[in-house]
Structure 1
Amino acid sequence: MSTAASAGVSPMLTRLADEQATGALIREYGTLYLEGGRVVHAESPATPGMDVLLTAGGAVQAERWSEAVDRAGARQRVGRYLVEQGRLTDGALELCHLGALFDAAYFTLAPSSGPSRFRYGASHWFGTVRPVPVAAVERETLRRRELLRRIWPEPDTDTAPLSRIAGPGPTVPPRRRRVLDLVDGARTASQIALALGRPAFHTLVDLRRLAAGGLVAAVPEPPARAVPPPELAVDSPDVALLHRLRAGLEAL
């Protein structure tokens, strides 16, 4: 077993790499697609997909993206179609896809108590761009975990709704300012990333830096309301009615 696997990334993924398996590894927070034991695609509900990353920044027009999916999705050649039609260069496609792959893989490989399963032979409609060795995905996942820990050790900013902290605070660079402007007490890091059309991990980095600077904090969960035992719930309308009926009967 590799060092990364023993550190808790995914022993199952390492085994599939050793088997040179092809299919989809489905975990609680996302899915990794393998081809010959290498990762060729990743997706997670916590991260913007290729459609958002390509269209939000203007690299591909939304209608051109829809055209590529319609015409090449069934053949699993969406990425190649965009290049062949002159919508993207090879380099731009590889760079964007690699960033999206590592972004989604980070969340997919997060520690969880949920089950993992592997669907042999499954593939993704986007198609293969550049396969990445599993060891490289594991190393990058661990590097990102350590980076976030060094910036700000509290992980609740990654998943909870976030609120701004009043006060002057330090000067914020423009990129981080755009993230801070979307902190409204309701949005999570993933929702902010989606609104900006940016990789979610980069947004986590910005938010942890803002938290370390005392500018944002996770919104605390509301305390659970205690349910009084039946014998103490005397203010309930049903209970009060029963008391009045009993008093009336006793009077008769």
Structure 2
Amino acid sequence: MPQRSPGTALLGSPMLDRLVAEHATGSLMRERGTLYLADGQVIHAESPHTPGLDVLLTTGGALSPEEWSEALTQAGPQQRVARFLVDSGRFPEGALELCHLGALYDAAFFVLGQGGGPARFRRGVAHWLGAVRPVPVDAVQRETARRRELLTAIWPEEGTDTQPLVRTRLPLDTCLPRRQRAVLQHVDGTRTAADISHVLGRPAFHTLVDVRRLAAVGIVTAARRRPRPTAPARLPETSTGPDVALLRRIKNALEAL
């Protein structure tokens, strides 16, 4: 397997290696999303940080929301939604494979990346979409690592990937590319890169690239998180009288603020 650069922390390979060796079928769940395996290969991936295939297809106008809903109703229970879209003539097979591969890599970037938490595998779980074109696990890992390295080369701070985004006071460059301007229009202090991707119906990785480029030139930054309020100090309830030393320390601390 290719060497991974420092700082590229993926989901521990022993677990995935074992699932590949077992030709396992099921769902691998982490905090940031889920990988679906069939016979040890990745057939789908989902993450709350990325638009799903439904958003990518319907927002862009490739399918109407009604057509997508019909596919779910007709073929979802049999885990054959993708096959239904192709066989019914609603979507060309080659185009669907390309769109699905992009959505798969998009979600896998978060599932396999840093901060995803512990993994849990549920055997036998199938996805309602069905298999489109299975992808080897090592190919998904390599693509995840490549994307992480690319983003780090653009801007090393990862906070802009998941935290709400804010505009800085730096004036805009008139030569700012149209794609970055489209992203910037939705930076309002509450939306994350994932939110903006959903609004635009755009692959999340494309948005992450634009956001990091905007961060690199100082136009966008991650919003500062407000510190959690701390509970006020409580005096011991069992004391029969005031703790004079404690009260003096509290008084001095308040006066120092």
| Corresponding residue number in structure 2 for 1:237 | none
Query: Which structure has the larger Rg?
Result: 1
| Corresponding residue number in structure 1 for 2:186 | 182
1:213 alignment partner, one of 208, 212, 217: 217
Cα distance in 2 for partners of 1:209, 1:14 equals 35
Residues 136-155 of structure 1 mapped to structure 2, 5 A cutoff: 136-155=139-158
2:24·2:39 contact (CA, 8 Å) conserved in 1? yes
| Corresponding residue number in structure 2 for 1:84 | 87
Cα distance in 2 for partners of 1:143, 1:102 equals 11
Question: Is 1:129 equivalent to 2:137 in the alignment?
Answer: no
Give 1:14 deviation, angstroms: 2.4
Give 1:2 deviation, angstroms: 7.1
Cα distance in 2 for partners of 1:205, 1:135 equals 23
Cα distance in 1 for partners of 2:9, 2:177 equals 35
Give 1:27 deviation, angstroms: 1.2
Instruction: Deviation per CA, 1:186-219: give whole Å up to 9, x if none.
Output: 1011111111111111111110000001110111
Instruction: Deviation per CA, 1:85-128: give whole Å up to 9, x if none.
Output: 11110111001000000001111112236321111111100000
1:161 alignment partner, one of 159, 164, 168: 164
Flag the 1:104–1:2 CA change in 2: closer, same or farther, 3 A. same
Instruction: Deviation per CA, 1:163-204: give whole Å up to 9, x if none.
Output: 111232332111111001000011011111111111111111
Q: Any unmatched runs of 5+ in structure 2? A: 236-257
The residue type paired with residue 149 of structure 1 is: T
Question: Is 1:50 equivalent to 2:53 in the alignment?
Answer: yes
TM-score relative to the length of structure 2: 0.85
2:43·2:133 contact (CA, 8 Å) conserved in 1? yes
Flag the 1:100–1:60 CA change in 2: closer, same or farther, 3 A. same
Aligned residues: 231
Cα distance in 1 for partners of 2:124, 2:227 equals 46
Cα distance in 1 for partners of 2:199, 2:20 equals 35
| Corresponding residue number in structure 2 for 1:244 | none
| Corresponding residue number in structure 2 for 1:193 | 197
Three-state SS of the structure 2 residue aligned to 1:73 is helix
Q: Any unmatched runs of 5+ in structure 1? A: 232-252
Three-state SS of the structure 1 residue aligned to 2:225 is coil
Three-state SS of the structure 2 residue aligned to 1:33 is strand
Larger CA deviation: 77-86 vs 98-107 = 77-86
| Corresponding residue number in structure 2 for 1:240 | none
| Corresponding residue number in structure 1 for 2:37 | 34
Cα distance in 1 for partners of 2:184, 2:159 equals 16
Larger CA deviation: 115-124 vs 140-149 = 115-124
| Corresponding residue number in structure 1 for 2:64 | 61
Cα distance in 2 for partners of 1:28, 1:223 equals 23
Cα distance in 2 for partners of 1:113, 1:65 equals 30
1:2·1:14 contact (CA, 8 Å) conserved in 2? no
Identity %: 59
Q: What root-mean-square deviation, in Å, do the aligned CA atoms of Structure 1 and Structure 2 show?
A: 1.9
Three-state SS of the structure 2 residue aligned to 1:32 is strand
- Runs ≥4 residues deviating over 6 A: none
